[in-house]
Chains A and B, each alone.
Chain A
Amino acid sequence: MPDPLSTTFAALADPTRRAILARLALGETSVTELAEPFEMSLPAVSKHLKVLERAGLIARGREAQWRPCRISPDGLRPVDDWLESYRRLWNERLDRLETYLQELQAKDKAGTEKKRGPKR
Chain B
Amino acid sequence: MVGMRVLDAPRALVFDMWSDPKHLAQWWGPDGFTTTTSTFDLRPGGVWRFVMHGPDGRDYQNRIVFEEVVRPERIVYRHGGAEDVEPVQFRTTVTFEDLGGKTRLTLHARFPSPEERDRVIRDYGADKGMAQTLSRLADYLASIG
Chain A positions near chain B (C-beta within 8 angstroms): 3, 5-6, 9, 12-16, 18-19, 21-22, 25, 37-39, 71, 73, 76-77, 79-80, 83, 86-87, 89-94, 96-102, 104-105, 117-120
Contacts of A80 in B (CB 8 A): 138, 141
Q: Are A9 and B87 in contact (CB under 8 A)?
A: yes
Whether B70 sits at the interface, judged by CB under 8 Å, is no
Measured between alpha carbons, how far is A12 from B113 in the docked complex, in Å? 9
Task: Decide if the interface of chain A is mainly helix, strand, loop or mixed.
Answer: helix
Measured between alpha carbons, how far is A83 from B138 in the docked complex, in Å? 11
Interface centre among A3, A22, A91, A117 (most CB of B within 10 A): A22
Measured between alpha carbons, how far is A68 from B88 in the docked complex, in Å? 31
Q: Which residue of A lies closest to B28 (CB)?
A: A93
Q: Which residue of A lies closest to B101 (CB)?
A: A119
Q: Are A100 and B111 in contact (CB under 8 A)?
A: no
Within 8 A of A (CB), among B88-142: 88, 98, 101, 105, 107, 109, 111-114, 116-117, 120-121, 123-124, 126, 128, 130, 133-134, 136-138, 140-141
